[in-house]
Structure 1
Amino acid sequence: MRALKTLLAAGLLAALSGIPAYAEITVATAGPMTGQYASFGQQMKAGAEMAVADINAKGGVLGEMLKLEVGDDACDPKQAVAVANEMVGNGVVYMAGHFCSGSSIPASKVYEEEGIIQVSPASTNPKLTDEGGPNVFRVCGRDDQQGEVAGKFLAGVYRSMNIAIVHDKTAYGKGLADATMASMNKYGKKETLYEAYTAGEKDYTALVSKLKQNNIQVLYVGGYHSEAGLMVRQMRDQGMNTVLVSGDALVTDEYWQITGDAGEGTLMTFSPDPRKNPIAAPLVKAFRDKGIEPEGYVLYTYASIQVFAQAAEAAGSTDMDKILKVMNSTKFNTVLGELGFDSKGDVSLPGYVFYIWKDGNYDYL
């Protein structure tokens, strides 16, 4: 009914103005466009805008142009639900979002109820697909996969050292920290300290002092770059050489802007860097020509939009049920490589690897 009213209104306006009516298909991305994690929102926005522009330049989808809506959830669960409802009102048929797991999970309930397909480029908490509806997918990995890799690494490389695991109490941060700790314990290494911290603070000296008192030599942070960056700086201020290890929420140049040289040697897990994929080279150049570095989740968001375009074309429709049949049975050629989805909606792409920060950049360890 919503779509019919929109179409009738567009047709009436065109008739009155004498301009032909052109149908549009509305897709969206949503994430932290403002706030302390805005660098990730900007990654998603850049990827979605380029994908929509490229698809439209080739004729759109089903002969119609794509229109992009951008939602700002600030990584807040309540705001994410409000954004999801706003997207429903805007006639969105596909959501390439959200970023934070704590946003994607509650928003997914709205999308399921309203018949909107959701493909997150970045939300890694297992609950998103384990408990989500048939409309929920992701093109990134899962924290149980990421935690398995990180925990095994910590247990093997730092077996004789004192390791602390801390988290920010979010669905992403705590989920990743717990998965990493479980994996590390499985491989025979026990943590010296397990603590929670509050995201958004500027002073972590109390936590750092506790780490120092316990002679912590390796700190695993289940959380985001903004807090991890402050922690490593404040550890260096207290004369600590503790190695900071974290997950995929450090894949932003903003981490180094916070840490400066204190970030040297930071380790993190992330999927294989899609910028290094030969098939991505022309797109990477196109982004750089526009002054955009396609780091982190830029190309993951681009791929999310590619999946929709290919699935809708194959289905011959934007109807959710028809597209879902395609998504559940088809491989898609994307900037990330060929990918498909399992019965839960998780992606069939290579898992996690380790990176190290050096001289302001991250690369494979």
Structure 2
Amino acid sequence: MKISFGRYIATFFMAMQIALFFTIFSAPAQTNTLDIAIVGPMSGDLSPQGRQMEKGAQAAAAKINSRGGVAGNQIRIFTFDDGGTPAGAEAAAREIVKQGIRFVVGHYNSGSSIAAAPFYAKHNTLMVSPGSTNPMLTEFKLWNVARTSSRDDAQGSFAGNYIAKHFPGRRIALVSDGTPYAQGLILKARAALKASGQPAKGLFVVKPQRPRYDDTVAKLRAAKIDLVFFAGLANEYGLLLRGCKEAGLNIQFVSGDGTLVNYLPTIAGSAVEGSLVAFSLNDADNPSAKDAVASLKAVGVNEFEYTLKSYAALETIAGGIDQAKSQTPRLVATAIRSGQPIKTVLGDLSFTSAGDRREPDIMMYVWRDNTIVPAP
């Protein structure tokens, strides 16, 4: 059947009008959104820290959204599990980029962040870590990295100065488990002690995953050491604490936060009592966090070590977008790392050109009755 051109045009426009009607009255309303990924160890031994990250970021997003969002955009949170491993982080990063998400709160582990950061940089994605403390993360000088935690080497300098001030005249030894984390702390602690006029009397390295460290205990005894700064992880530290007590040595121990796990007393026994550990500030006591802490407690959240740092990481991204007046990741990164303060749950935070937090984030704690409390 032959159809005239005029009739064809009339039929076409009628169809378009019907389609437009159903588009207007049937399609859901579209809301401008800002997608942010939360990525960390949501499974495995470190899952409690990962879930803290998730809860903190979700709380920050809810608060910002209640105030109108970021430049009128409502934040949407997407959670990814990296299992706390570099391989898992690389897999999660690929999925995040595949989904078109360009802003990330994560990762938790330094190894995970270091593995994922170059991939994010290559694919125009900005990351703000709430827990990765290895100095190398920002020393690679990637354009896309910032962190709301402090660096490991800040712990070493802090611990060295603290020891010099509070324990003058002691015979000090530095003990490392040989990990990159430990080496960074040892270098800074050693320099701080030397600058204070109290250089360490010895440097000892323990080999990880041994059942006992009697040889190191014997060396500490022979050198008449009465204070040890330990840089490393909890298992080796706990065994060394226990071994020194069993040998009758009266040594004051100070460590970095790699030893800070809730099962340390199980490894060290009563020898953990009175030992000192350098760790982040108690963010829950920050006056700027008062309302956030109350809101989180109201929904059953009572752990804040990484909850509030993740809250602040998401606020840092939002603040960077506001300062840049753009959602272009490179422009947001430049704004964050400009040194201009950004209001967060941890107070005003500012960042170096490499992405390191400028404000101090460290204090000394002491083990009392199988938990840590601020040291006097």
TM-score normalised over the length of structure 2: 0.79
Question: Contact conserved, 2:150 with 2:356, CA < 8 A, in 1?
Answer: yes
Provide closer, same or farther for how the CA distance between residues 31 and 157 of structure 1 changes in structure 2, counting only shifts above 3 A: same
Structure 2 Cα separation of the partners of residues 151 and 241 of structure 1: 20
Once the two structures are superposed, the pairs formed by residues 220-231 of structure 1 within 5 Å of their partners are 220-225=229-234, 227-231=236-240
Residue 114 of structure 1 deviates from its aligned partner by 1.1
Match of 2:367 in 1: 357
Match of 2:207 in 1: 197
Question: Contact conserved, 1:30 with 1:73, CA < 8 A, in 2?
Answer: no
Letter in 2 for 1:327: I
Structure 2 Cα separation of the partners of residues 34 and 164 of structure 1: 37
Select 2:110's aligned residue among 101, 109, 115.
Answer: 101
Aligned CA RMSD, in angstroms, stands at 3.1
Question: Contact conserved, 2:221 with 2:249, CA < 8 A, in 1?
Answer: no
Structure 2 Cα separation of the partners of residues 22 and 260 of structure 1: 56
Letter in 1 for 2:135: P
SS for the counterpart of 1:41 is helix
> Is 1:172 matched with 2:181?
yes
Match of 2:314 in 1: 305
SS for the counterpart of 2:356 is coil
Letter in 2 for 1:63: N
Structure 2 Cα separation of the partners of residues 52 and 69 of structure 1: 13
Match of 1:141 in 2: 150
Deviations 1:178-232 (Å, cap 9, x if unpaired)? 322232234341242320432xx47344466445554543332223445534543
Provide closer, same or farther for how the CA distance between residues 149 and 35 of structure 1 changes in structure 2, counting only shifts above 3 A: same
Question: Contact conserved, 1:26 with 1:69, CA < 8 A, in 2?
Answer: no
Provide closer, same or farther for how the CA distance between residues 243 and 99 of structure 1 changes in structure 2, counting only shifts above 3 A: farther
Letter in 2 for 1:47: G
Match of 1:219 in 2: 228
Question: Contact conserved, 1:252 with 1:295, CA < 8 A, in 2?
Answer: no
Letter in 2 for 1:243: Q
Match of 1:119 in 2: 128
Select 2:354's aligned residue among 336, 339, 344.
Answer: 344
Identical pairs, percent: 32
Moved more, 249-258 or 126-135: 249-258
Gaps of 5+ in 2: 1-22
Select 1:65's aligned residue among 75, 83, 86.
Answer: 75
Deviations 1:40-64 (Å, cap 9, x if unpaired)? 3343233223223333344433322
Gaps of 5+ in 1: 1-13
Residue 259 of structure 1 deviates from its aligned partner by 5.1
Structure 2 Cα separation of the partners of residues 207 and 27 of structure 1: 50
Letter in 1 for 2:211: D
Structure 2 Cα separation of the partners of residues 226 and 45 of structure 1: 28
Once the two structures are superposed, the pairs formed by residues 1-365 of structure 1 within 5 Å of their partners are 18-22=27-31, 24-61=33-70, 62-74=72-84, 76-158=85-167, 160-188=169-197, 189-198=199-208, 201=209, 203-206=211-214, 209-210=217-218, 213-214=221-222, 215-225=224-234, 227-250=236-259, 253-255=262-264, 261-329=270-338, 330-359=340-369, 360-365=371-376
Provide closer, same or farther for how the CA distance between residues 194 and 308 of structure 1 changes in structure 2, counting only shifts above 3 A: same
Residue 307 of structure 1 deviates from its aligned partner by 0.9
SS for the counterpart of 2:301 is coil
Deviations 1:101-157 (Å, cap 9, x if unpaired)? 233223211111111112222222322222231211122222333222212233444
Letter in 2 for 1:333: K
Structure 1 Cα separation of the partners of residues 61 and 235 of structure 2: 30
TM-score normalised over the length of structure 1: 0.81
Structure 2 Cα separation of the partners of residues 148 and 104 of structure 1: 23
Structure 2 Cα separation of the partners of residues 64 and 190 of structure 1: 54
Structure 2 Cα separation of the partners of residues 57 and 304 of structure 1: 18
Question: Contact conserved, 2:254 with 2:275, CA < 8 A, in 1?
Answer: yes
Question: Contact conserved, 1:155 with 1:187, CA < 8 A, in 2?
Answer: yes
Structure 2 Cα separation of the partners of residues 270 and 259 of structure 1: 19
